[in-house]
Amino acid sequence: MKQIALYGKGGIGKSTTSANLSAALSDMGHDIMQIGCDPKHDSTRMLMRGHWIPTVLDTMRERGDKEIVPEDIIFEGYNGIRCVEAGGPEPGVGCAGRGIIATFQLLERLNALKGDIIVYDVLGDVVCGGFAMPMREGYAQEVYLVTSGDFMALYAANNICKAIHRLAARPKNKCHLGGVICNSANVEGEEALVRAFAEKIGSELTAFIPRSPIVRAAEVNKRTVIEYAPDSDQASVYRALAERISKETKTTIPTPMTMDELEALSLEYLPV
């Protein structure tokens, strides 16, 4: 079983990328499970044709975790993809990071973590130990950083590199960096910038996903691009990403950049 996780700055397009990646992997014949690890619980919505599925934590809160069965929290979406949303507390209260830990513990207990590939879609910055848990406990074995050419997106991606680098010192570490995915923000020269960033941290650019109006159109129609416009160029990009990730065997322990290096790199690729 391959377990991959998409990490990156909030709003960068992790959920869109994850859902389209899962859909494309599924179309290739893989048995896929996608787990949204973000309190805003919208990771699987497009796979569920716009349906907001009950989150694991809401279900736990309402019924207690003893009575829960897999059918309560795992829902079948596009092409049989099993969709799970961890969810989280209301904004401003509690500890969402602990919620992630509780979700994984429950899924383990239910023996629900199975399939050919599990795709974890994890909240942007690794804000606390709870959100690093999928990496730390061996769930997120191949991490893909989703970023654009925006400086803060690279900054967040670099922070995640720091977490992977730190975890690598642990004897039982299973977390490695699979690559960097550039989800374009239509910034001039960003593919070259993100490629250079990937190389600087000791990895490589896995895919460049151009900005396309098809993505928005698909979302408005509550579908992934793979389902809404399977013949589009954008769908081909997602399929190419899926093809590459499904065969990816080369992973690395990244070397995070210093703040000065990151600033210098961004300056170097700043359009004149």
Partner 1 sequence: MGALAVTAFVRDAVTLIHGPSGCAHLNATLFQTTLMHQDRFALPEILSSSMSEQDVIFGGEDALRTSLDEAVALGPDAVFVVPTCVSETIGDDVETICSEYSCNGDLPVVMVRAGGFLGGTFHDGFVAALEAAAVFAGGATGASEPARQRDYPVITIVGEKNLESEVEENYDEISRLLGLLGLTVSLRYVRDITVGEMSLLSESDLLIIRDDPDGRIEELCSSFSAAPVISGFPEGLKGSFAFLQSVAGCLGLDAGDALAAETDYQAAIIASFDDLKGLSIAFDSFGFQNATDMLFAELEEYFGITLAASGTPIPVPFTTPVGSTGLRLMLREWRRFL
Question: Where do contacts with partner 1 occur on this chain (CB under 8 A)?
Answer: 57, 60-61, 88-90, 92-96, 98-99, 102
Is 162 a catalytic site residue? no
In the complex with partner 1, which residue's Cβ is closer, 92 or 171? 92
The residues, any chain, with a CB within 8 Å of residue 104's CB and separated by 6 or more, are 133, 134, 137, 139
Q: Which two tokens stand for residue 201?
A: 């941290």
Shortest distance, position 70 Cβ to partner 1, whole Å: 20
Closest approach of partner 1 to the CB of residue 162, in Å: 22
The CB-of-93 to partner 1 minimum distance in angstroms stands at 3
The DSSP 8-state label assigned to residue 232 in this structure reads: S
Which member of 2, 31, 40, 162 is catalytic? 40
Cβ proximity to partner 1: between 51 and 61 the closer is 61
Tell how far CA 155 is from the center of its chain: 17
- How far is it, in rounded angstroms, from Cα 29 to Cα 246? 11
Q: Is there a catalytic annotation at residue 14? A: yes
Residues 6+ apart with CB under 8 A from 234: 209, 210, 212, 214, 215, 225
Instruction: Give rounded-to-5 percent helix, strand, coil for the chain.
Output: 45, 15, 40
Report the C-alpha gap between 155 and 246 in whole angstroms: 27
Q: How far is the CB of 71 from partner 1 (least distance, A)?
A: 21
Q: Which of 27, 121, 125, 150 is catalytic?
A: 125
Q: Which is nearer to partner 1, 90 or 231 (CB)?
A: 90
Question: Active site includes 200?
Answer: no
Strand partners, 85: 36
What are the residue numbers of the active site?
9, 14, 40, 125
